[in-house]
Amino acid sequence: MALHGKKGAAVVVLLCVALLVLYVLFNRSAGTTEEDGADAPYSDRLQSAHPSKYPSSLTYWVAMNPEEHAVLKSYNEMGMYKELERITGTKVQFQHHTVEQQTDQFNLTMLMASRTLPDVIDSNWSMAQPDKLIRDGKIIRLNELIEQYAPNLSELLKKKPDIRKLITSDEGNIYAFPTIADDPSLSVFNGLIIRKDWLDKLGLQPPTTIEEWERMLVAFRDEDPNGNGIQDEIPLIYNKDTFFISYAFAGAFGITTEFYQDNGIVKYGPYEPQFKEYLALLNKWYAEGLIDKDYLTTDINVMDAKVKNNQVGAFNGWVASSIGKYSAMMKDKHPEFELMGVVFPKLGPEDQVIAKKQDKYEGFGAAISANAQNPEKIAAWLDYGYSQEGHLLFNFGIEGESYTIVNDKPVFTDLILRNPDQLPVSQALAKYTRMGSAAPFEYSAEGYSQYNALPEQIEAKENWVKADHNRLLPKLSLTLEEQMQEAAIMTDLLRYQDEMLNKFIMGIESLDKFEEYIHTLHKLGIEEEIRIKQAAFDRFKQK
């Protein structure tokens, strides 16, 4: 990562620390410590939040996901942020990039190389070396700010020490206001989806093994399930950005596509012998026309177009932005269209399969940059999302528009669930809240259940959870030294790995070269990275 002026960065850090110390001392002398209000009723503390405690303005860097980008030019148009400005008086200048523009990590790295940073940086910090960014004067440590100026998040962390454990680095730093998904019902979002109506038309049962999947894909290719008399079906399509995200078929071979643990021993799926079997399967399916030939250039827009053209038989997707969106998109032109989220396939009926599950904290959150002139006020502003009112606003939007209260519970209105402009629920809700993306608040299980209330969505979640999650690693925290070592290893390693995996799948390179690939991963430092992850996992278990 490029740094611009180490002395300048150090001065900025020292000034920020000095100002913060003076501010804390002033407030203590004025009798406004957290302890003074600790015993006050929760609602009273919120009502005392006068706009003067918030910043008059701030800059906020954050990605927009495809569903948001389809209906908004900026978060300034989102109902949630309009209402937040009315409540707090804070005018926000959003700086957006989209998830299609490289990767979130790529954009974050480029941003951190800049001399001038926005006040708030909302991103995935999993690979961002947050402790180093704090040391280098890019973002600030939040522990004391949260304790002093964020009573709602502070109270939540006291009640949920497991969340505090996940959001605290091994250097002891809290670096971001976190996205929290604490309810077990929020742990599964993603999995394999098939055209149920095609399955019924061909007289097939939902597949549960790799063999049954292959039989189904061949039938999708050869038997004209879309009924147009042309062999234009795409049996299995992949979005290039989410190819390996759910472990889809890798789990059948007892591995994942990233790091996992086996009886306490950390392993790396693409470095294991079984990964060759997994690649052989994908190579076979690709050669036989069962996988979309254009998967390397298929982004979400291309995928949407192919689904809309009634060509796609199966894919890896999401409860809301796939099942919900596509069901709404196809119901008029193709009323027979029906999707089904199916269980992850096994090699044999009695085998176990590993599948992805979301942790309570996945690394997403909003950091405050060292450039911010009023970090204590920004902390108070971000804290609003964890209040009772903020929980409603961030999850449900505007009362009377996107939701109403029925029997003391928030319920989405027809504007969201049966949008008059025929918008999918995911896009209708994106006009009002960030519930469909990662943001600094705690997800509502009640809202999520309404958001994904179609029978096929409920069935999908029930099927996707039927897998072995015990071998997944929790979100691990690395020491500053480990973060730097990981960055040095994984950047080149992942670039080489992705290139080779695609060559193996497409037949550009023979799988006879798999051992050569393994040897290169070794040379690039995968064994050292496994040792880093093992040490972090061992520390996590001792916390």
pLDDT at 35: 34
Q: Which has the higher per-residue pLDDT, 95 or 320?
A: 95
Cβ-based neighbour number of residue 465 at 10 Å: 16
Q: Look at residues 208, 200, 354 and name the one whose alpha carbon lies nearest to residue 274.
A: 354
Q: How far is CA 273 from CA 265, 470, 518, in A?
A: 16, 21, 9
- The pLDDT confidence band at residue 109, using thresholds 50, 70 and 90, is confident
pLDDT above 90 for 11: no
d(CA 115, CA 368): 15
pLDDT in tens, 426-482: 999 999 999 988 999 999 999 999 988 899 999 999 999 999 999 999 989 888 899
Tokens representing residue 462 in the block = 């029930």
Contact 119, 368 (CB under 8 A): yes
Range in 33-37, 230-234, 322-326 the model is least confident about: 33-37
Report the distance separating Cα 228 and Cα 218, nearest Å.
17
CA 224 to chain centre: 36
What share of the chain in percent tops pLDDT 70? 88
Token pair listed for 398 = 């505007």
For residue range 495-523, what is the model confidence (pLDDT) as tens digits? Answer: 999 999 999 999 999 999 999 999 999 99
Separation between Cα atoms, residue 390 and residue 399, nearest integer Å: 12
Condensed to tens digits (0 to 9), the pLDDT of residues 394-404 reads: 999 999 999 99
Residue 361: name the closest of 279, 441, 420, 446 by CA: 441
pLDDT of the residue at 436: 85
pTM for the structure as a whole: 0.77
- The pLDDT tens digits for 325-363 are 999 899 999 999 999 999 999 998 888 899 888 899 999
Residue of 268, 208, 220, 260 whose CA lies nearest to 489: 268
- What pLDDT does residue 158 have? 97
Cα dihedral sign, 392-395-397-401: negative
Q: What is the pLDDT of residues 200-216, one digit of tens each?
A: 999 999 999 999 999 99
Q: Examine the pLDDT at 115 and tell me if it is beyond 90.
A: no
Amino acid, single-letter form, for residue 180: I
How confident is the model over 127-186, as pLDDT tens digits?
788 999 999 999 999 999 999 999 999 999 999 999 999 999 988 999 999 999 998 888
| Token duo for residue 200 | 């019924």
Helix axis angle for 514-523 and 480-506, nearest 10°, is 160
First-to-last alpha carbon distance for the chain, in angstroms, is: 30
- For helices 6-29 and 375-383, angle between their N-to-C axes, nearest 10 degrees: 70
Q: How sure is the predictor about 243, in pLDDT bands with cuts at 50, 70 and 90? A: low
Reduced to 3 states (helix: H, G, I; strand: E, B; else coil), residue 478 is coil
At 105 the pLDDT is: 63
Q: What pLDDT is recorded for position 247?
A: 77
Least confident of 54-58, 307-311, 440-444, 482-486: 482-486
Pairwise CA distance, residues 121 & 382, whole Å: 12
For the residues 65-92, what does the mean pLDDT come to? 96
What is the mean pLDDT of the segment spanning 7-35? 36
pLDDT value at 421 more than 90:
yes
DSSP string computed for 103-155:
-HHHHHHHHHTSSS--SEEEEE-TTS-HHHHHHTTSB---HHHHHHH-HHHHH
At 407, the pLDDT band (50, 70, 90 cuts) reads very high
Q: Give CA–CA dist 528/531, Å, rounded.
A: 5
pLDDT at residue 6 greater than cutoff 80: no
**DSSP symbol at 206:** P
In which residue are the tokens 């440590």 written? 141
Residue 19: predicted pLDDT? 36
Average pLDDT, integer, range 189-198: 95
Determine which of 36-40, 144-148, 300-304 has the lowest per-residue pLDDT on average: 36-40
Rg of the chain (C-alpha set): 24
Amino acid 113 reads: A
Q: Which of 9-23, 276-290, 375-389, 464-478 has the lowest mean pLDDT?
A: 9-23
Residue with more model confidence, 245 or 360? 360
Look at the alpha carbons of 491, 492, 493, 494 in this order and tell me if their dihedral is positive or negative. positive
Facing residues of 94 across strands? Answer: 60
- The reported pLDDT for the residue numbered 269 is 97
- Return the pLDDT at 459: 96
- In this predicted structure, the answer to whether residue 29 has a pLDDT above a threshold of 50 is no
Helix crossing, 480-506 with 274-287: angle to 10°?
40
Considering the chain, what percentage of its residues have pLDDT values greater than 90? 73
All domains of the chain in start order, with CATH: 6-30+51-183+361-386 (3.40.190.10), 190-356+465-542 (3.40.190.10)
Exposure of 338 in the CB half-sphere (CA atoms within 13 A): 12
Q: Tell me the pLDDT band of 117, cut-offs 50, 70 and 90.
A: very high
What pLDDT score does 41 carry?
32
The torsion defined by the Cα of 169, 170, 172 and 177, in degrees rounded to 10, comes to: 10
Q: How far apart are CA 313 and CA 195, in angstroms?
A: 5
